[in-house]
């Protein structure tokens, strides 16, 4: 039995004449409540304060709503429940408060046995997602082996006085050092021309594994599969984050920093599905969707497709 959410973004086509096998997402997603059967739980971080602090183009706070609208009309083929737990909003400029509240929501959803899928918002969501996951896992393991798989044109390892969309993985590295955890970070799709030498040096100091955008071509997929598999073999728990600016600007125009080169959707989706199939995924999110810059909802549709690939 399905319950349609009474929210504008969870509305869409209904093919009543084709029976129960013609369901769409908006007919399957349920409002989140405590003590429901285990499933997938959507949670948004409606915020672009991090993008503003990183001198980017604002508008990502509308990303969670746009992703829900893009998901709503997709055909549903899954079996397990999907819940919408709403958004954490950044009030005024309190990014740090929003990140903490979001991390607590993720922690709670994991405690309830769900797979949280984060809807961004700027890539400041990454620090909050990791924080919620790590705090949950540390309740059950002394030193959980958590790997971060980031599809991104940028390392996001910047040094700055404040948290921003350019600092999340440096913040995670600092958290791991304080908590006695290994910082195991793999970044796929890095643009050599959009990361300074200082950032490459920082990545080397932190033993970051990465592949450049120009290395991630369709004819190189077997080597990429092996690279991802080697990364996955060394971890027990996977946090996967997808910054939509990893895609070419022609596919994903609605981001703060469009990519001149980027990585084709076919390659990104294939590797996302490979990582999901490992059985180690515990948390994932999609970030940097800016609906005000999106053309024909192309970026939102890609974001929705990637989110859907983490469920089916």
Output the CA torsion sign for 274, 113, 29, 98: negative
Structure tokens at 156: 């996001």
HEC-encoded secondary structure of the chain: CCCCCCCCCCCCCCCHHHHHHHCEHHHHCEECCCCCCCCEEEEEEECCHHHHHCCCCCCHHHHHHHHHHHHHCCECCCCCCEEEEEEEECCCCCHHHHHHHHHHHHHHHHHCCCEEEEEECCCCHHHHHHHHHHHHHCCCCCCCCEEEEEECCCCCCCCCCCCCCCCHHHHHHHHHHHHCCCCEEEEEEECHHHCCHHHHHHHHHCCCEEEEHHHCCHHHHHHHHHHHHHHHHCCCEEEEEEEHHHCECCCCCCCCCCECCCCCHHHHHHHHHHHHHCCCEEEEEEECCCHHHCCCCHHHHHHHHHHHHCCC
Domain span at 142: 40-309
Look at residue 6 in the predicted model and tell me its pLDDT: 43
What average pLDDT values come out for the chain (312 residues) when binned by 10 residues? 54 84 93 95 92 84 96 94 95 92 98 97 95 97 96 94 88 97 98 97 98 97 98 98 98 95 98 98 97 96 97 78
Q: Flag whether 74 is in a domain.
A: yes
Identify which of 60, 114, 112 has the alpha carbon closest to the alpha carbon of residue 89: 60
Strand partners, 243: 287
C-alpha distances in Å from residue 255, one per residue of 109, 247, 292 = 28, 10, 9
Q: Flag whether 83 is in a domain.
A: yes
**Could you give the CA distance from residue 142 to residue 100 in angstroms, rounded to a whole number?**
22
Look at residue 4 in the predicted model and tell me its pLDDT: 40
Q: Flag whether 1 is in a domain.
A: no
Q: Flag whether 106 is in a domain.
A: yes
Please, which residues have CB within 8 angstroms of residue 78's CB and are 6 or more apart in sequence?
28, 311, 312
Look at residue 312 in the predicted model and tell me its pLDDT: 66
Q: Flag whether 86 is in a domain.
A: yes
Judge whether 63 and 121 are in contact, CB under 8 Å.
Answer: yes
Structure tokens at 192: 């050599």
Q: Flag whether 289 is in a domain.
A: yes
Q: Flag whether 103 is in a domain.
A: yes
Q: Flag whether 47 is in a domain.
A: yes
Count of structural domains, the chain: 1
The CATH number assigned to the domain holding 139 equals 3.40.800.10
């Amino acid at each position: 039995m399905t319950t349609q959410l009474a929210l504008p973004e969870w509305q869409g086509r209904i093919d009543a004449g084709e029976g129960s096998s013609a369901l769409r997402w908006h007919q399957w997603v349920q409002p989140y409540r405590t003590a429901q059967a285990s499933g997938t739980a959507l949670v948004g971080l409606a915020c672009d304060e991090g993008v503003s602090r990183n001198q980017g183009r604002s508008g990502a706070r509308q990303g969670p709503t746009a992703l829900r609208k893009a998901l709503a009309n997709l055909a549903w083929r899954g079996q397990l429940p999907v819940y919408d737990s709403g958004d954490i909003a950044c009030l005024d400029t309190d990014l740090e408060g929003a990140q903490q509240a979001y991390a607590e929501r993720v922690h709670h959803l994991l405690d309830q046995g769900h797979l949280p899928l984060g809807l961004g918002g700027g890539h400041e969501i990454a620090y909050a997602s990791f924080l919620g996951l790590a705090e949950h896992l540390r309740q059950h393991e002394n030193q959980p082996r958590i790997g971060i798989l980031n599809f991104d044109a940028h390392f996001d390892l910047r040094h700055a006085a404040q948290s921003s969309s350019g600092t999340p993985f440096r913040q995670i590295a600092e958290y791991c050092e304080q908590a006695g955890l290994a910082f195991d970070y793999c970044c796929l799709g890095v643009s050599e021309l959009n990361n300074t030498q200082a950032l490459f040096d920082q990545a080397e100091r932190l033993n970051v594994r990465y592949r450049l955008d120009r290395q991630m071509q369709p004819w190189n997929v077997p080597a990429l599969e092996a690279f991802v598999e080697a990364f996955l073999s060394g971890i027990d728990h996977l946090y996967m984050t997808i910054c939509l600016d990893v895609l070419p600007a022609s596919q994903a125009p609605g981001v703060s920093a469009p990519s001149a080169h980027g990585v084709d959707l076919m390659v990104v989706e294939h590797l996302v599905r490979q990582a999901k199939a490992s059985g180690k995924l515990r948390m994932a999110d999609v970030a940097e969707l800016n609906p005000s810059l999106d053309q024909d909802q192309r970026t939102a549709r890609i974001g929705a497709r990637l989110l859907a690939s983490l469920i089916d």
